[in-house]
Structure 1
Amino acid sequence: MVAFLNTKQAFDDALAGAGLVAIDFTASWCGPCKMIGPRFEAMSTSGEFPSVCQVDVDENQEAAAACGIRSMPTFQLFRGGVKVDEFSGADENRLRALLRQH
């Protein structure tokens, strides 16, 4: 299940663990976000990938700014609170490949 990180504290708490965390920075008005969002959520419910979270950049501007988000969707992967990779765009195959890589 996708965790929705609506505050900077929730974002920080999600990154506090040692495991891999994938975060989808999204916006409700973003067309490509609406396309990839359900696929990202399906990845989480399938058990195929570890912890996945979403940050709505309009609701949690503090976390988005701290991560330097400039376009949506942007996916960032963290391990132990450290960013290990990222990409922008709604490419499901690239997202799956990135998650498998880490």
Structure 2
Amino acid sequence: MVIKDIDSLDDFNKCLSEACDKLVLVDFHAEWCGPCKMIAPEIKKLHDENPDKLVVIKVDVDEASDISEKYEIQAMPTFIFFKNGKEVEQFKGANKEKLRELTVKHL
């Protein structure tokens, strides 16, 4: 599974349903967000380490306002973890250790 850039709520919902029992990490970011760019390599690394267990969806809040509004995204980066289509955890900020800890916790 590749890291997917999603820009519509329909595509977002489709990706969640296609993920089945895999962990889905949704990265809400913005092109102009410095901390988002700093943590991007860690997201790729986590995906590369767990390609059969982890699906990464990247949502640019400026391009996909319908998704960011649905999840009430106020700060970037914000990460939401989904398992079996249900939200299991959420956190804000470019904290690599916390991102890794929560990913491992939910895998």
TM-score using structure 2 length: 0.88
Distance in 2, matches of 1:78 and 1:47, equals: 15
Gaps in structure 2 of 5+ consecutive residues: none
Distance in 2, matches of 1:68 and 1:15, equals: 18
Match of 2:86 in 1: 82
Distance in 1, matches of 2:93 and 2:86, equals: 21
**Equivalent position to 2:50, from 27, 43, 47:** 47
Q: Which residue identity does 1:39 align to in structure 2?
A: E
How many correspondences in the alignment? 102
Report the alpha carbon displacement of residue 86 of structure 1 after superposing the two structures with TM.
Answer: 0.7
CA RMSD of aligned residues (A): 1.3
Match status 1:67 vs 2:71: yes
TM-score using structure 1 length: 0.92
Percent identical residues: 36
Q: Secondary structure at the match of 1:28?
A: coil
**Equivalent position to 2:30, from 27, 30, 33:** 27
Distance in 2, matches of 1:19 and 1:38, equals: 21
Q: Which residue identity does 1:15 align to in structure 2?
A: L
Match of 2:6 in 1: 5
Report the alpha carbon displacement of residue 18 of structure 1 after superposing the two structures with TM.
Answer: 3.2
